[in-house]
Structures are given as structure tokens and as C-alpha cells.
Amino acid sequence: MSFKAKIAAAAATFALAGGGLGMLGTLSASAATPKCGSTCKDLYTKKFGPRYLLATVKGMAAANQEVILRKASNRHPTEDFVIKDLGSVGSFYGHHGRLITPQFDTSYGSLSAYEFQYAPHGVNSNLCLGTSPGQVAQAGFQVRLEPCGKHRNSVWAIFTGRFVRDHTTFGYDVLISAATDSLSDPLVLNYPAGRPTDRPSPGLNVQPLRAHANGTIFNTEQWAYRNGPVK
């Protein structure tokens, strides 16, 4: 099933839901460290909800550092990220064409583009979520910290909001990698098999957008964020 067909199926199945990566709200789970404050965002997947947040292994701010999920806590700077809104894919391509291919702009120009910068304790690392820089992403490529603003691999287009609400009343979004060349069946941010409590913790990767027969996108490919930290 093509990307457009999957999205059409999802839209037909579920009512428009607010939230996801385009909206903030209040949850009861722990969050980013107080030193980072409300500037930081806590990202999580629908599969596990806000109990487990996007983090790095050992909290290291280094290129090629693996990205995982870990139990939410105000004590861990490993969970501190800052989301950079780049505007629409189309406008971003108009100003920074070298970072977005014409084909990606043609297919996803109306979607919003973002970078997700690692910022432990609110300190800019200039490292963002991405796949291997300078390479066309393939299914199963690991998602790691890579330099921000230098390659299309650190840019993500966001398909927002036609997913069922969960108990938090948040919606979820799909993060499409700008490094993909498969525009009819794009690669998206994915949580692989396993659980965050496994040792070693499974690292995030990119996979083709996948949907069940009823049009529901896999919950490992749906993402949201919340503000931090908890007071």
C-alpha cells in the first residue's frame, strides 16, 4: 500500500485528533531535567506512551550516539531535546535546497519540517536525530545523533493528526525522514522489536510506513511530545 493510500485509510478510519508534535499539554509522567526546563521536549511513542522517553545511551552528546527509549525521570539529562521548527518542507526547500531534494519537496512540500536537537540540561549540542549523514537511508538504518543542519538526514517531515486519541487525549504523528528516496513508501521513525527495559535497550531505526488492514498506522511509528519538566 502506498503512502497516500495508507494515509487515506487512516483518515477514513479515525477522526481528526489534536496533539502529537504540533501541540503541548499536561501529563503526569516525569519529564526533562529542571535545568532544561520548559524549553525541552520529551518525545515518546504510542507503543509505550509517556512512561518511556526518547534518550541517548549513557547521556553522551556525541556524533553517532545511539538513540533509545528510557524510563521517564526529571533526573536524567539524557531525555532533554529541543524541537526546531523549520517551517514547511516547501519553504525550507526554497531557502535551503541543498538539504531537501526536489522530489521530497514535490511529495511533502505542504508538511512541516523539524529537527530534533539533543540538549542535555538545556545545553545545545548541535547534534540532532538522524540517520548516517550523506547516505540515502534504507529500511532498518539506525537513528543516532548526527550534526544538525548539514545533511537532509537530520530533517523530518511531520504528518499530523489523523489518529485515534489515547487515554492522554493526545494525538500522534508520523515522522518522515528526509533522507528517504522512496517517496511513495517513505521511511519513518520507528521503535523496533523489544522493550525499553531490555538490555541492551533497542535502538531506534527507520522503517517503511506500515499500516494494519483497517488503516491504523503501527503504534511503533506514531510519536508525540510533552513539555518538561514536571513541577
Residue 143 neighbours by CB under 8 Å, 6+ apart: 67, 129, 130, 131, 189, 203, 204, 205, 206
pLDDT at residue number 131: 97
Q: What is the DSSP letter of 124?
A: -
Give the separation between CA 215 and CA 12, rounded to whole angstroms: 8
Dihedral sign for Cα 79, 80, 83, 84, please. Answer: negative
pLDDT at 231 over 90: no
Give the separation between CA 117 and CA 122, rounded to whole angstroms: 10
Q: What is the mean pLDDT of the chain?
A: 80
pLDDT at residue number 171: 72
Give the separation between CA 128 and CA 146, rounded to whole angstroms: 5
Average pLDDT over residues 70-96: 88
| Rounded CA Rg of the chain | 16
What phi, psi does 88 have (nearest 5°)?
-75, 155
pLDDT at 96 over 50: yes
Give the separation between CA 185 and CA 144, rounded to whole angstroms: 22
What are 134-158's pLDDT values in tens digits? Answer: 899 999 999 999 999 999 999 999 9
Cell of 48: 509505550
Give the separation between CA 66 and CA 21, rounded to whole angstroms: 22
Residue 44 neighbours by CB under 8 Å, 6+ apart: 50, 51, 52, 53, 54, 69, 72, 223, 224, 225, 226
What are 177-214's pLDDT values in tens digits? Answer: 999 888 778 999 999 999 999 999 999 999 999 988 88
Fold held by 3-224: Trefoil (Acidic Fibroblast Growth Factor, subunit A) (2.80.10)
Number of C-beta neighbours around residue 171 at 10 A: 25
How close are the terminal C-alpha atoms of the chain, in Å?
45
Q: Could you tell me if 211 and 14 are in contact, meaning their C-beta atoms sit under 8 angstroms apart?
A: no
pTM of the model: 0.83
- pLDDT tier at 123, thresholds 50, 70, 90: confident
Q: What is the DSSP letter of 143?
A: P
- pLDDT tier at 1, thresholds 50, 70, 90: low
